[in-house]
Amino acid sequence: MMMFGFAVVATAPALLLSRMLSPRRRSNPVKFLPMECGQVPKGEGRTHFMMQYYAYVLMFVVFDVMAIFLYAWGSTILNLPRTATLPIIAFLAIMFAAMAFALYQAKRRNIW
């Protein structure tokens, strides 16, 4: 509970300050131009951006994060209190939901 309180106390001022200091909506035509490395592109694009590996990139990110946390939890599993199992199960549920979404995206070949 203390960590949640610290997260709120540390995050709230940053969000409020950025909201107060950020510029309001002004129409700037340069803002919505397509850019390539800070320069306005010249001519047509040469290649089509392939999205066929998008789902695999999502799966890699999910497995990468999951492996880091599972290794840390697995190395201390005998020393963890019983109350630590609920956050572990919640984390795994979120990760497996992201994995299911990536697998769902992999079956949708018609969007690529």
The CATH number of residue 27's host domain is 1.20.58
- What pTM was computed for the model? 0.44
The total number of structural domains that make up the chain: 1
Angle between helices 54-75 and 85-106 (to 10 degrees): 160
Residue with tokens 């995206």: 105
pLDDT at position 112 over 50: no
What would the pLDDT profile of 39-75 be if each residue is shown by its tens digit?
777 777 666 666 777 777 877 887 888 888 888 888 8
3-state DSSP call for residue 104? helix
Taking alpha carbons only, the member of 55, 53, 65, 60 closest to residue 94 is 65
Which pLDDT does position 11 carry in this prediction? 92
What would the pLDDT profile of 10-37 be if each residue is shown by its tens digit?
899 888 988 888 877 777 777 777 777 7
